[in-house]
A and B are shown apart, each in its own frame.
Chain A
Amino acid sequence: EDQVTQSPEALRLQEGESSSLNCSYTVSGLRGLFWYRQDPGKGPEFLFTLYSAGEEKEKERLKATLTKKESFLHITAPKPEDSATYLCAVQDYTGRRALTFGSGTRLQVQP
């Protein structure tokens, strides 16, 4: 059974204070690892897909990296509008299309 663990559960940063969110996973053959952002009362918003160890993707202040056991979401010089819950999910190669999600990291960026 696929498992995803995200840490920390909650993170409070000052504006401009860079940090990283962690996503550890156990999967029977990784087809893809996905990062989403979720604002309160809204649906998850797709950010990145990573397919193989060593892969990196960037979007504005966010950079996602992948190893064989975990993924990191690096946030550089965050702004208050980056405050949200960040979700990590995996999809395996068994043929199932379901995503297995972690519980998320609640990020709060204070001005």
Chain B
Amino acid sequence: NAGVMQNPRHLVRRRGQEARLRCSPVKGHSHVYWYRQLPEEGLKFMVYLQKENIIDESGMPKERFSAEFPKEGPSILRIQQVVRGDSAAYFCASSPYGGAGTGGMNEQFFGPGTRLTVL
């Protein structure tokens, strides 16, 4: 069984360029989460998506960041006009359940991450 897949694993961008990070959830999972891990800091929630819907984007920076999870294909985290402070590891997680009344089965399984370096 394939777990969560992320690509690229490493991404180098110059200031002002765009970064696109891709995440394919565990087969059968329809809930995707993005987290960011800054150097020497813990994991911070960014956004939660279901197919074609953004459910919770309370952790997303207001500008330059966007996320989508289309009906077909992987989830994409897009960072426009990157700055050095965007350098971090970005992790995607997926779960099989997400809504109320699911009995609490909401374990999130993480991918290997994309390490973004902004020069």
Contact = CB atoms under 8 A, between A and B. Distances in A.
Of the candidates A44, A45, A87, A95, the one having the most CB atoms from chain B within 10 angstroms of its own CB is A44
A25 interface: no
A98 B110 contact: no
Given A96-B58, A97-B31, A46 B112 contact: no
B91 interface: yes
A22 interface: no
A101 to B, nearest CB: 4
Given A43-B91, A104-B42, A96 B104 contact: no
Interface residues on A, range: 20 to 34
Contacts of A104: 42
Given A103-B42, A104-B42, A46 B107 contact: yes
A104 B7 CA distance: 25
Interface of B: 4, 6, 31, 33, 35, 41-45, 48, 55-56, 58-59, 91, 95, 98, 100, 104, 106-113, 115
Interface of A: 31-32, 34, 36, 41-46, 49, 51, 87, 89, 91, 95-104
